[in-house]
Chains A and B, each alone.
Chain A
Amino acid sequence: MIRLRSVTKTFETPAGAFAALRGVDLDIAAGEFTAIVGRSGSGKSTLLNLMAGIDRPSAGTVAVGEATLDTLSNDRLASWRGRAVGIVFQFFQLLPTLTAAENVMLPMDFAGTIRPAERRRRALELLARVDVPEQADKLPATLSGGQQQRVAIARALANDPPILLADEPTGNLDSATGADILRLLGELSAAGKTVVLVTHERGALDGTTRTVTLADGRVVS
């Protein structure tokens, strides 16, 4: 499902070029619930960003599903991202002036997938699925962190992508709420989604089927 070959990513910094990933080879099969772990600064987010097509590798290839990301233009990459992957961030990244339901509808709007008349119904279904149906018409600022992250997961599911990518989704939540979120991701994995979870919390690994450990930009196990 996800295939990285000899992927290297270097950043230009004032102190010179810095390699955040060094020759990463990685295959993730469909339906797997993969946890990527490692210390802060080990390159986890960088790796996830490459899978999401949010960033491009300095060398090597990234293929996700049918798509070889390196060959796509920026706009095609964005459209592909809207349909093929759902992304969940540590800081939720909900648009502040849109309600929960509208935030969930936004990817459908950009991708033009669901018929406009269907969108709200689908958004409400997704919000019910992540257990925040009654928050549908509230603005993000009025929701708790856990509720916001649930809305963000519902948004990631908007276009029914086969892959979910989550970068420390519990990092900004208390442990109980965080556990709920991980359980939700587990359910989604069980329902057939390929889930990749970046975390540095050992406790998060319970429901996962596989653990990839990064250190200094290399896969060590």
Chain B
Amino acid sequence: MIAPRWRKVLRDTFGQRGRSLLAVLAMAAGVFEITTMVHEYALLEPALHGMYARTRPASATLLVDRVSDALVDSVRCMPGVGDAEARPVIVARVRVGPDEWVPARLQVVRDFGAQRLDTFEPDHGAWPPGPDDVLLERTALRVAKVGIGATLALRIEGTADRSVRVAGTVHAAGLPPAWMEHMVPGFVAWNSSLREGGVESAQIRMVVADHPLEEGHIREVADSVRTRLERLGHTVTRVTVPPPGRHPHADQMEAFLFLLLAFGILSFALSAVLVASMMHALMAEQVRQVGMMKAIGATDRQVAGLYLGQIALLAAGALIVGVPPGLLAGRTFAVFAAGVLNTDVSGAPFPLWGVAVVAFIGFVVPPLVALGPVRRAARIPVREALADDPPAPRLGGRRMRGLEGLAWLPRPLRLTLRATFSRRLRLALTVGMLAVGGATFMSALNVSSAWLRAVNDDFGRRHYDLAVGLDQPQPVAAVAAALAAVPEVERAEYWPAASPYLVGPGGVATRTVSLVGPDPGSRLLDLALARGRWLAPGDRHTAVVNGAVLALDPDLAVGDSVRVRLRGRTEAFQIVGIARELTPMASVYAPRADVLAATGQHDDEARSLRIVTRAHDDAGERAAARALEREFERRELPVTGLMRMRDARQGILDHLVIIWSVLAAAALVVVVVGGLGLTSMLTLGVVQRTREIGILAAIGATPTAIARDVWIEALVIGALSWVVAVALAAPLSWGLETACGNIFFKTGLGFHVSPLATGGWLALVLVLASISSFLPARRAARLTVREALSHA
């Protein structure tokens, strides 16, 4: 036996199906957002914090002259060292097609069964590998274009080509996915045949015993280890300390989560606003019934309870509608994000705290945002509520005088628009909602367009098509002869290059930078300068550094000295300019002669080439790259790397997918919410003008004309929202462009507004307005004169 007041609630809810459905969808949008975020976080949290730490990432890596078990044992016993493991690395290239090679890094593992640092797990196939086997990281199969059991052709500097069998795959959660880095990570056994000929770089990885996340402490310990090793008669050529505790793709992950959170909160807030305005509309329609109930003895509290109950019912519907797609979207995002991190999402069930959060948001927020309108309606004096023309609890009601100037419009349309503009707060809510949706949409396009532009601009300043690295410095004459034999090559320049350490404050070597010595007169490189000037012919010991160098040492400025350590010596260059470059790789450009001197190369030798091809399309560049590989091989000039600039550019553009997917999903939700808001506003307008519409129909307005006016009303609101959206999109795009650029490239992307986005949204919002107006317009057109005039 249900009490009559709850029967009223049930009948009102299920009787007005269209309106209830709109309200449920509006609430469901918020529930969807929250469920997505909670589920995604619940799935990713273990991957983010657990999995990487469980690989026991090395605090530091030392490059030494040779490794032995005894040496590693002694490192393990040095003060401050927690553990150490020998992990020699073989740098190679693997063949992925005729004359096409991809770089590979093969780690030599002491004991697959007793890994200590940077651990990995068996995935598929053999474990451990035999002497002629390699295990590839599971994400590398696609890059190497092989399957398990296949034979891999390997080329290692200074040795004859060989082949190994891909015996299986492993999962190394600490390595970025191979497809994002476009290189092949692999693992070979201590007794691997590849080690013959001493081609490996002997590396010892270590973790510190205490304060594993303090970079300064790690450096101190690593430095003392180096000193001790040198005292033992070893040479230590390099000490690298990666950012402690951070997955190599942590930055991208954070950008992704930041965007997801920002837009999740934004669309949740919008949904809450929409729910509030719908509840306001609901209460406006119920004023007379509130009066009736209060007249027969209902207290304010009972009336409010009744409507809050109705809202709880709608909220329950919203949970049913919003949770399943939210779970799905959360999983989809989590899987995508885990792919970027090269981890798996756990199969963890939706956590209990998540259920609590979603239920709280789903059940408590709607009544909370409705509390204002409900209380206001419940407090209306009976006399007012039952008056002939019951007042809606008003949300701003003054008339717009300005519309009187639109005398040229047909009178019925003027009536419609005047009603629209007289409800200012409701209009502002609807316009605001659509505008935020539009701004999100436009920002998504603006950011990706800015990204595209920045990348194209950056690569457009490099007027070469291929970058080739040779194993050894070779006589320029021999290299030139080889190039001359390749008709696809137009011309080339030889730029000495090296990878020294940047010497930071206090004389401590920090990260590797790339030291490049272009010909000062070269026209192949035309970098944009943020400050200062480019290298000039005749410069000595000067340098142009890019933004990534400043990110490593923010104190550097034009006029300061940048110091690098190379071959045991420290070289200083005076900074004359700061270049704007997109790459996160820190680069120091110095005069060719200085770089030659620092690297010990001779002027008539070449090791790194910049090549301009004759044809500037994908096929032409690919053909040139293959022909070059063949020609260098024929002339026994071993190549260590050949990069097509087109591939490099595409690699950077591929990271856009992350941004785009988040923004597109967010824009979609916001647009749906905005459309719902518009529909509910138009419907309410029709309901409140029922009597007026009846009079218009009685004096001869056709249903078509009445429907058309509702449609025009929607278009006017849509166009208005577009204007606001354009204004909102500018700062939003700027903020996102700056944030994305800083996270990925350590520099802003440069403000950019895409005309396509701006125009596209205008078209889209008008279509959306038309769709939103369909039901309300039909409702208005179907009102019969009798119904309309008897409307109480």
B300→A110 contact, CB < 8 A: no
A120 surroundings in chain B (CB, below 8 A)? 1
B559 at the interface (CB under 8 A from A): no
Interface digits, B281-294 against A, CB 8 Å rule (1 contact, 0 not)? 00000001101111
Give the interface segment out of A22-30, A76-84, A210-218: A76-84
Assuming A54-B383, A74-B300, A97-B12, is B4 touching A105 (CB within 8 A)?
yes
A151 surroundings in chain B (CB, below 8 A)? none
B293 surroundings in chain A (CB, below 8 A)? 95, 106, 110
Contact of A106 among B4, B288, B379, B382 (CB under 8 A): B4
B614 at the interface (CB under 8 A from A): no
A156 surroundings in chain B (CB, below 8 A)? 296
- Complex: A111 Cα to B302 Cα, angstroms: 10
A93→B295 contact, CB < 8 A: yes
Interface digits, B7-19 against A, CB 8 Å rule (1 contact, 0 not)? 1100110010000
A93→B4 contact, CB < 8 A: no
B379 surroundings in chain A (CB, below 8 A)? 74
Assuming A95-B293, A109-B4, A110-B5, is B383 touching A49 (CB within 8 A)?
yes
Interface digits, A66-110 against B, CB 8 Å rule (1 contact, 0 not)? 000000001100110111000101010111111000110111011
A81→B8 contact, CB < 8 A: no
A98→B7 contact, CB < 8 A: yes
Question: Would you list which residues of chain A between 102 and 160 have a CB under 8 Å from chain B?
Answer: 102-103, 105-107, 109-111, 116-117, 120, 155-156, 158-159
Question: Would you list which residues of chain B between 361 and 419 have a CB under 8 Å from chain A?
Answer: 379, 381-383, 386
Q: Which of the four size classes fits the interface of chain B?
A: 20 to 34
Chain A residue nearest to B383 (CB atoms) is A55
Contact of A98 among B8, B291, B383, B792 (CB under 8 A): B8
B291 surroundings in chain A (CB, below 8 A)? 93
B7 surroundings in chain A (CB, below 8 A)? 98, 102
Contact of A110 among B302, B382, B383 (CB under 8 A): B302
Chain B residue nearest to A104 (CB atoms) is B4
Chain B residue nearest to A94 (CB atoms) is B292
Assuming A95-B289, A102-B7, A105-B4, is B792 touching A110 (CB within 8 A)?
no
A21 at the interface (CB under 8 A from B): no
B302 surroundings in chain A (CB, below 8 A)? 110
B295→A83 contact, CB < 8 A: no
Assuming A89-B386, A97-B15, is B299 touching A110 (CB within 8 A)?
yes
B298 at the interface (CB under 8 A from A): yes
B356 at the interface (CB under 8 A from A): no
B386 surroundings in chain A (CB, below 8 A)? 89, 93
B5 surroundings in chain A (CB, below 8 A)? 106, 109-110
B197 at the interface (CB under 8 A from A): no
Interface digits, B752-792 against A, CB 8 Å rule (1 contact, 0 not)? 00000000000000000000000000000000000000001
A55→B381 contact, CB < 8 A: yes
A93 surroundings in chain B (CB, below 8 A)? 288, 291-292, 295, 386
Interface digits, B199-213 against A, CB 8 Å rule (1 contact, 0 not)? 000000000000000
- Complex: A83 Cα to B300 Cα, angstroms: 16
B569 at the interface (CB under 8 A from A): no
Assuming A78-B300, A97-B15, is B295 touching A87 (CB within 8 A)?
yes
A52 at the interface (CB under 8 A from B): yes
- Complex: A105 Cα to B299 Cα, angstroms: 16
Q: Which of the four size classes fits the interface of chain A?
A: 35 or more
Contact of B297 among A55, A83, A98, A103 (CB under 8 A): A83
- Complex: A83 Cα to B297 Cα, angstroms: 7
The minimal Cβ–Cβ distance linking B491 to chain A, given in whole angstroms, is 85
B8→A87 contact, CB < 8 A: no
- Complex: A79 Cα to B292 Cα, angstroms: 14
B1→A75 contact, CB < 8 A: no
A111 surroundings in chain B (CB, below 8 A)? 297
For the residues of A in contact with B, the DSSP-based class is: helix
- Complex: A109 Cα to B386 Cα, angstroms: 21
- Complex: A91 Cα to B292 Cα, angstroms: 11
Assuming A54-B295, A97-B12, A98-B11, is B300 touching A75 (CB within 8 A)?
yes
Assuming A55-B383, A102-B7, is B295 touching A79 (CB within 8 A)?
no
The minimal Cβ–Cβ distance linking B3 to chain A, given in whole angstroms, is 5
B567 at the interface (CB under 8 A from A): no
B634 surroundings in chain A (CB, below 8 A)? none
A83 surroundings in chain B (CB, below 8 A)? 297
B298→A110 contact, CB < 8 A: yes
The minimal Cβ–Cβ distance linking B789 to chain A, given in whole angstroms, is 15
B383→A79 contact, CB < 8 A: no
A95 surroundings in chain B (CB, below 8 A)? 8, 289, 292-293
Contact of A159 among B1, B297, B300 (CB under 8 A): B297
A89 surroundings in chain B (CB, below 8 A)? 295, 386
Contact of B298 among A82, A116, A159 (CB under 8 A): A82
B296→A117 contact, CB < 8 A: no
B15→A78 contact, CB < 8 A: no
Most A Cβ at <10 Å: residue of B3, B288, B291, B381: B3
- Complex: A88 Cα to B293 Cα, angstroms: 13
- Complex: A96 Cα to B293 Cα, angstroms: 12
Contact of B296 among A75, A96, A116, A155 (CB under 8 A): A155
Assuming A97-B11, A109-B5, is B792 touching A91 (CB within 8 A)?
yes
Chain A residue nearest to B301 (CB atoms) is A75
The minimal Cβ–Cβ distance linking B287 to chain A, given in whole angstroms, is 12
Most A Cβ at <10 Å: residue of B12, B296, B302, B379: B296
B1 surroundings in chain A (CB, below 8 A)? 116-117, 120
A109→B295 contact, CB < 8 A: no
The minimal Cβ–Cβ distance linking B649 to chain A, given in whole angstroms, is 64
B289 surroundings in chain A (CB, below 8 A)? 95-96
B8 surroundings in chain A (CB, below 8 A)? 95, 97-98, 102, 106
Interface digits, A47-74 against B, CB 8 Å rule (1 contact, 0 not)? 0010010110000000000000000001
B299→A75 contact, CB < 8 A: yes
- Complex: A106 Cα to B15 Cα, angstroms: 19
- Complex: A161 Cα to B381 Cα, angstroms: 22
- Complex: A158 Cα to B297 Cα, angstroms: 11
Most B Cβ at <10 Å: residue of A82, A95, A117: A95
- Complex: A36 Cα to B15 Cα, angstroms: 40
- Complex: A83 Cα to B296 Cα, angstroms: 9
The minimal Cβ–Cβ distance linking A79 to chain B, given in whole angstroms, is 6
A97 surroundings in chain B (CB, below 8 A)? 8, 11-12, 15
Chain A residue nearest to B292 (CB atoms) is A93
- Complex: A94 Cα to B295 Cα, angstroms: 11
- Complex: A52 Cα to B15 Cα, angstroms: 32
Chain B residue nearest to A45 (CB atoms) is B383
A81 surroundings in chain B (CB, below 8 A)? 295-297
- Complex: A155 Cα to B293 Cα, angstroms: 11
Chain A residue nearest to B792 (CB atoms) is A91
- Complex: A61 Cα to B688 Cα, angstroms: 38
The minimal Cβ–Cβ distance linking B452 to chain A, given in whole angstroms, is 56
A107 surroundings in chain B (CB, below 8 A)? 296-297
Most A Cβ at <10 Å: residue of B12, B379, B381, B383: B383
The minimal Cβ–Cβ distance linking A198 to chain B, given in whole angstroms, is 14
Most B Cβ at <10 Å: residue of A83, A98, A103, A105: A98
B297 surroundings in chain A (CB, below 8 A)? 78-79, 81-83, 107, 110-111, 159
- Complex: A55 Cα to B289 Cα, angstroms: 17
Assuming A97-B8, A109-B5, is B292 touching A55 (CB within 8 A)?
no
- Complex: A52 Cα to B7 Cα, angstroms: 27
Question: Would you list which residues of chain B between 273 and 331 have a CB under 8 Å from chain A?
Answer: 288-289, 291-302
A158 surroundings in chain B (CB, below 8 A)? 296
Q: Would you list 7 pairs from A and B whose C-beta atoms are within 8 A, ordered by A residue?
A: A49-B383, A75-B300, A82-B298, A91-B792, A95-B292, A109-B5, A155-B296
Q: List the 8 closest A-B pairs by CB distance, nearest first.
A: A82-B297, A97-B11, A75-B299, A54-B382, A102-B4, A78-B299, A93-B292, A110-B298
Known: A89-B295, A93-B295. 14 other contacts (CB 8 A): A54-B383, A74-B300, A81-B297, A82-B297, A89-B386, A93-B291, A95-B8, A102-B4, A106-B5, A109-B3, A109-B4, A110-B297, A116-B3, A155-B296
